[in-house]
Amino acid sequence: MDFELTEEQREFRHLVHEFVAKEVKPLARHTDETGEFNWQAVKKMGPIGLLGLEVPEKYGGAGVDAVSAAIAAEELGWGCGSTALAIGAHNTLGLGPIVRYGSEQLKQQWLPRLATGEGKLAALALTEPGAGSDLQGGVRTTAVKEGDSWIIDGSKMWTTNASIADVIIVLCRTDPAGGSHSLSQILVPTDTPGITIGPPEKKMGLKGSPTHAVTFEEVRVPLENLVGEEGRGLHQTLATLDSGRIGIGALAVGLAQAAYERAVAYAKERHTFGKPIAQHQAIQWMLADAATEIQAARLMVYWAAWLKQQGKPYTKAASMAKLFATEVSERVCRNAIQIHGGYGYSAEYEVERMYRDTRLMTIGEGTSEIQRLVIARHILNEW
């Protein structure tokens, strides 16, 4: 891989960075403190492509390459974890399956409004009270054919964007016999009768990214709302998560970069024992490790994105990038607090929020344990 970004990618980074610095980052504290979703900024994201990053231009999207999409996720993460998670889930989890597997009818019906910001966002509901890492064995939400409709019943947990979405892609069991070909993805508009979206979950961080339990009671949608093939839902979901993991890795790099920048600035300002703490070797080492690890994580994320862009297999690379970048981010945010001393533990300082926000990244879209499992399976099969 050529590690130099193209001119187009550099220009895109500049555009997104400027936008995030103006519209997103200044509101990050307010978003966290109030739990209000930053619609003000999100409504302005359509024209610069952030709401349809990988949606082809003919459906109103930006159609950017995978590295540029990762750059956008990174810049958003640098600005605000909550907003970045919502926009990441919209692009990779919500729109991804429609772009990759949806029928022409579904694409034309939904992509233009979702990718331009004319409508609200998109979401993906996989997790259930009894199923997270083990979707194949655990999913109990069912979809049964009746005439020209699917009838959906069940409960989902932790659905990012549910209350601010026009559509939710729901992973349902369509074959009660079970097994890897028993699940399907079905697009459900959120105004369909029978859907109940629970109150926002009270979370440790990412408070401005609404997460909800969603229940489905005899929810009826047309058979045409099947996304992709019946029985291929698990396969489609795993492929969607491969892509999402690059996005989470990128978001984590952005959060780490933001915390690192705060730590460097503070280390130069704060004096102890007659000199700036930046002149104490213990502080320098934390900063040096952070700079090194962030750069390594960024390159791993771009590498996975580049493989995706080339049409090469990238499951292992995406898991490696997600695993490494999210664990680096947690360490960097932790040390950014350490460098701030007692002030770092105060909500007055941004690093406190960043640490809470980044904690999710080693859990959502496949925990670190699941990433290690995926990587181990690949390397053992390659042997």
**Which one of residues 6, 105, 133, 180 is an interface residue with ligand FAD (CB under 6 A)?**
133
Q: Tell me if 41 sits within 8 A of 22, measured CB to CB.
A: no
What angle is formed at CA 171 by the lines to CA 169 and CA 172, rounded to 5 degrees?
125
Strand partners, 150: 145, 221
Q: Lay out the site mask for ligand FAD across 36-75 (x = CB under 6 A, - = otherwise).
A: ----------------------------------------
Rounded to a whole number of angstroms, the distance between the first and last alpha carbons of the chain is 24
**Which one of residues 105, 196, 369, 379 is an interface residue with ligand FAD (CB under 6 A)?**
369
**Which one of residues 12, 19, 110, 158 is an interface residue with ligand FAD (CB under 6 A)?**
158
**Which one of residues 278, 370, 374, 375 is an interface residue with ligand FAD (CB under 6 A)?**
370
d(CA 14, CA 155): 42
Q: Rule CB under 6 A: is residue 367 a binding residue for ligand FAD?
A: yes
Q: Rule CB under 6 A: is residue 132 a binding residue for ligand FAD?
A: yes
Distance in Å, CB of 332 to ligand FAD, minimum: 20
Q: Rule CB under 6 A: is residue 373 a binding residue for ligand FAD?
A: yes
Q: Rule CB under 6 A: is residue 127 a binding residue for ligand FAD?
A: yes
Q: Rule CB under 6 A: is residue 124 a binding residue for ligand FAD?
A: yes
**Which of the stretches 67-75, 153-161, 312-320, 330-338 binds ligand FAD when contact is defined by CB under 6 A?**
153-161
**Which of the stretches 20-28, 66-74, 158-166, 301-309 binds ligand FAD when contact is defined by CB under 6 A?**
158-166
Q: Tell me if 224 sits within 8 A of 103, measured CB to CB.
A: yes
Q: Rule CB under 6 A: is residue 286 a binding residue for ligand FAD?
A: no
Task: Compute how many other C-beta atoms are within 10 angstroms of the C-beta atom of residue 271.
Answer: 11
Catalytic annotation, residues: 365
Comparing CA positions, the residue from 361, 326, 240, 340 lying closest to residue 286 is: 340
Distance in Å, CB of 160 to ligand FAD, minimum: 3
What angle is formed at CA 89 by the lines to CA 305 and CA 329, rounded to 5 degrees?
65
**Which of the stretches 10-18, 44-52, 228-236, 364-372 binds ligand FAD when contact is defined by CB under 6 A?**
364-372
Comparing CA positions, the residue from 56, 51, 61, 67 lying closest to residue 11 is: 67
Q: Rule CB under 6 A: is residue 364 a binding residue for ligand FAD?
A: yes
Helix axis angle for 7-19 and 66-79, nearest 10°, is 20
Distance in Å, CB of 36 to ligand FAD, minimum: 17
Q: Tell me if 17 sits within 8 A of 75, measured CB to CB.
A: yes
Report the residue number whose CB is nearest to ligand FAD: 132
**Which one of residues 42, 50, 126, 167 is an interface residue with ligand FAD (CB under 6 A)?**
126
Radius of gyration of the chain (CA): 21
Distance in Å, CB of 157 to ligand FAD, minimum: 7
Q: Rule CB under 6 A: is residue 31 a binding residue for ligand FAD?
A: no
Distance in Å, CB of 35 to ligand FAD, minimum: 13
Distance in Å, CB of 135 to ligand FAD, minimum: 9
Of 192-221, binders to ligand FAD (CB under 6 A) are 203, 206, 211
Q: Tell me if 273 sits within 8 A of 98, measured CB to CB.
A: no
d(CA 263, CA 248): 22
Distance in Å, CB of 361 to ligand FAD, minimum: 10
Q: Rule CB under 6 A: is residue 346 a binding residue for ligand FAD?
A: no
Side chain identity at 31, as an amino acid letter? T
**Which of the stretches 60-68, 117-125, 187-195, 344-352 binds ligand FAD when contact is defined by CB under 6 A?**
117-125
Contacts with ligand FAD by CB under 6 A lie at 89, 93, 123-127, 132-133, 158-160, 203, 206, 211, 360, 363-367, 369-370, 373
